[in-house]
Amino acid sequence: MSGVKPDAEQEVVSPAGAAPPPAEVSETEPEIVEEVVGEPEPEDLAGRYLDLAQRTQADFDNYRKRMTREVRAAESRGIGRLARELLPALDNLERALAAVETEDPDHHLTKGIRLVAAELSAALGRTGIQGYDPTGERFDPSEHEAVAQQPFEGAESGTVVQVLQSGYRLNEAILRPAKVIVAG
């Protein structure tokens, strides 16, 4: 005898590759019923494709509009950055013109400075950049930078009485506030 006794506690091992015994099915579990679906009707299929095409077209239109807005915004930012770099040069041309005009307004260099300043100002204007002179307007901190406040005869308190440096707008957005003296 081999000395191995069948024991009630001993495991029964099934041969390799044998399927496990079937699990017991509870009678309380719902039965799954598979519905046989045939091919959709041509009208249903056409309707789905039409809906898909319309949604795709709408998505593309929205994308095109969004890209157009983003391109305009990027272009505006670029113009603004360039203008902020060019404005000091225009200010210097205007200062040079003011200094030279007091001495000899008919000198040929005075005319040249005037032409260059006008051309630069016109080029900025073609891109939507406009200078503004707030003299006589009520002080607005979003559009003006107060450099000083002085009592001024004949001017109401809080009114801009003198512009020290012109302000500039790009399509109604302030690029640079005007530096002003305000009546006190």
**Taking the chain, what is the end-to-end CA distance rounded to the nearest angstrom?**
123
What pLDDT score does 42 carry?
A: 77
pTM of the model: 0.61
Q: pLDDT averaged over consecutive 10-residue blocks of the chain (184 residues)? A: 50 52 55 58 86 95 96 92 92 90 82 91 92 91 92 88 92 91 90
- 165: CB partners within 8 A, 6+ apart: 91, 178, 179
What pLDDT score does 118 carry?
A: 93
Dihedral angle computed from the Cα positions of residues 174, 176, 178 and 184, in that order, rounded to the nearest 10 degrees? 80
Inter-helix orientation angle 108-126/42-103, to 10°: 160
CB 174 within 8 A of CB 141: no
What pLDDT score does 147 carry?
A: 94
